Amino acid sequence: MPTAALVSLATAVPPYEYLQKDVLAAAWEVFGPRFPEFETLSSIFSNTGIVKRYGVKPFNWYLERQGWPERTEAFLEGAEALFVDVAQKALANAQLGGGDIDTVVTVCSTGIATPSLDARVARVMGFRSDVTRVPVFGLGCAGGVSGLSIASRLAQARPGANVLLVAIELCSLALRLDELTKANIVAVSLFGDGAAAIILRAGDGGATRIESSGEHLWPDTLGIMGWNVDPEGFGVIFRRTIPNFVTAHLNPAVVQILARMQLSMADIGRFICHPGGARVVTALETALALHQGTLDHERQVLADYGNMSAPTVLFVLERVRAKGLPARSLLTALGPGFTASCVTLRHAA
């Protein structure tokens, strides 16, 4: 059976840019008077490595109290616009139109839409009435890699079909004024909005092919990362030990995943990782036995966009691809579950 090949890749961010220094100043005004620990926690903002981020709403919108209706309205409006933007870029890069797409895989964990986003934008995108829609929710930061795995298998099952993957997250809509917790302060310091789109096709060659994929779910780790849901909206669950967990547990998990692919760490020319945060990137380099500083594109994406959850690793892939992929690379991301998701790419120069 022919493997799926990467036909095109595009990324996009919403229109509003926030400098990290301005976010910190606003956080001081909002949290400083009410949260005695904020003075200590404020150092997180300068330690993230983030210079700027993007969001779907003007800066002052986030300084007003918002509930489920307001957040959902902002999600639907912002996500639909961003979906169309990034998907049209991917189609243009592939010299295709919306009517050429046979399957749409939409990965998103930062808002709820029923009908799903792909249905809401179908008319604008020009999708056919028989297009297959696969909305995927709940994968969090691992969604970009797991979504690529799902999309590649769907493409492989129907050689010649065009499969569109859209990973889109509006993390900024989960930032909360009411939660005086370290987890929320970390979220305020870290998250931004963005989207990535990939078109895959099997059966007609392609320089970059999706070779294999695998996941590792650690038992009894539900409390490491995820959402709380209440009348205000999503509230972030973040355990402060994530970098330590990565250092201690990621390597054997990746080794096992690669072994199931009949590969070893030595077969990987470049690790392409989701940069969850500056400390996580350092932990990834330690866990994967890389020299400190190796994950340079990861750090630059984090600086330029913050943590956008699922699409972030695809922003990194875009930069690595522009510089030149090695013969084999491994995409990896960590997400709620707690889960490691991996995809190997084979590239012919």
For residue 26, what are the contacts with CB-CB under 8 A and spacing of at least 6? Answer: 59, 62, 63
Going from the C-alpha of 284 to that of each of 157, 244, 276, 290, 298, the distances in angstroms are: 33, 10, 10, 8, 11
The answer to whether 329 and 77 have CB atoms below 8 angstroms apart is: no
Supply 22's token pair. Answer: 């301005």
Classify burial at 43, counting beta carbons within 10 Å of its beta carbon; exposed 0-12, middle 13-18, buried 19 or more. Answer: exposed
> Counting every residue, how long is the chain?
349
338 preceded by cis ω (within 30°)?
yes
Phi-psi sector, 312: left (phi>0), alpha (psi -120 to 50), beta: alpha
Alpha-carbon dihedral sign for residues 88, 93, 99, 104? negative
Helix (H) or strand (E) holding 81: helix 68-94
Catalytic residues: 141
Beta strands in 141-192 (DSSP E): 163-170
- Is cis: bond before 252, omega within 30 of 0? no
